Amino acid sequence: MNFVVKCYLLDGKFSEQNPDNFAAISHIVNANRRALYELPLPIIIEMLSAMGKKIIKNPHLNKIQGMTYLSLWLRKKNLEQICRINYGNLSYPDSFSKVENRFKLTAQPRGVVCLWVAANIPNLAIISIIQTILSKNGSIVKVPEENKDVLLDFLQELATVEISYDDTNYSAIDIVKAISVVSFEGRNHEISADFSINADCRLIYGGSKAIQSILALPQKDHCETIVYGPKYSFCVFDHAFIESDLFENSLEKTAKDIASFNQMACSSPQVLFFEKSKYQLQHIGERLGGYFANLPEDLRIQPTDPGILANIINIRAKYLLSDDKSVIASDDLSWTILIDNDLRLEEPIHGKCIFLKEVDSVDNVTELITRKIQALSVSILDPEKRENFALEATYCGVDRIVSPGTIHDYDLPWDGILPLSRLVRWTILK
């Protein structure tokens, strides 16, 4: 095999290497994960929390979109809550604990986790790595070339974290040594197969075609596979909410939800459905346009692929030429609002190109819901009506029901999965 892999981190050393095969990388990561395993979970949480505070002081990290949120996500209280929801008991990753006087239970790491990370969200690799750390696994991350510096900057900073706990000193270098960062051409079947066969667990992000290709790769018999596939998100507003004092603030937050990550995330809204109210849809669109125009510059002007810009030009023309559709848009291509009343989920355009539609009832949209829907931002004024709607929507396939301004919050479970509980083996002692 002509092995063409770039390795940017191995054995705690941040230098570019060209390894002969993944077995050599896996061997080092597997040996180093013992030190991570022996760190008590509260110590790991303390060190990650300390890293969250360091992000704000690192000029290379804090300027990246989403990193301020990540620093808050790494709060000790939040990490403890994530572990409690995933494990049920914070002691399970560290020792055997009795379960209802039947037997003792512990959560053992699976071993070496190989991660395929998509390129649409710069800090996606970091969030994924934190999950493998909290489950005490070693990791080999296949990172997109354009995002590797974000991950490496984060891990270099993490390697400097040191804490003192109960008169014992701990260094996060023991965490970083259990991680390797690599890149290679995903279309190279031989290299991809070698990467896959070295995994005790595969964690995959990507589009449908990429996921099907990776799932077909050879794997160990015991290998667990966690898949985060392509997803779709949208918003609904009922008439009582639209006519309430809450609407204006929620509309502003929705504009920011759309703009974040340039509408490329699986949690980015693509369509807004408004129940018929005293306000015309055109009027609501103009108000939303005002919030787009006043976005902070880093959200309003974002690098956009030429193909997306071409699609925006085409869809604007299509709507302008139609008698039953209308367009509200910026003079440049920075944001576009497309208005019609066709009850359907439109193919995403991205680049802050949002579809607005009016419906007789918010209940009409449940017929559009499939298992592909990840997040649904629901603005229904009556709490009981909102919860009943959420119950039906989640039955139909939605994974997350959220409010405006929270659609990108990285909640666990994500995509209907409690990942930490899947990243460990649940073992018993009788």
**pLDDT for residue 20:** 81
pTM of the prediction? 0.89
CA dist., res. 21 & res. 38, Å (int): 28
Peptide linkage before 306 cis (omega within 30 of 0): no
Q: What single DSSP character describes residue 10?
A: B
**Across the beta sheet with 424-429, what order do the strands follow?**
97-99, 103-109, 424-429
Q: What percent of the chain lies above the pLDDT cut of 90?
A: 82
User: 65: which 2 tokens?
Assistant: 């979109």
Residue 106's pLDDT band (boundaries 50, 70, 90)? very high
Confidence at 66, pLDDT banded by 50, 70, 90: confident
Q: Could you tell me the pLDDT band of residue 327, with boundaries at 50, 70 and 90? A: very high
Lowest model confidence (mean pLDDT) among 48-57, 126-135, 241-250: 48-57
Integer Cα distance of 203 and 228 in angstroms:
8
> What are 9's two structure tokens?
């981190």
Structure confidence at residue 140 (pLDDT): 97
pLDDT tens column, 133-191: 999 999 999 998 888 898 999 999 999 999 998 889 999 999 999 999 999 998 889 99
Q: What percent of the chain is modeled with pLDDT above 70?
A: 99
pLDDT value for 158: 96
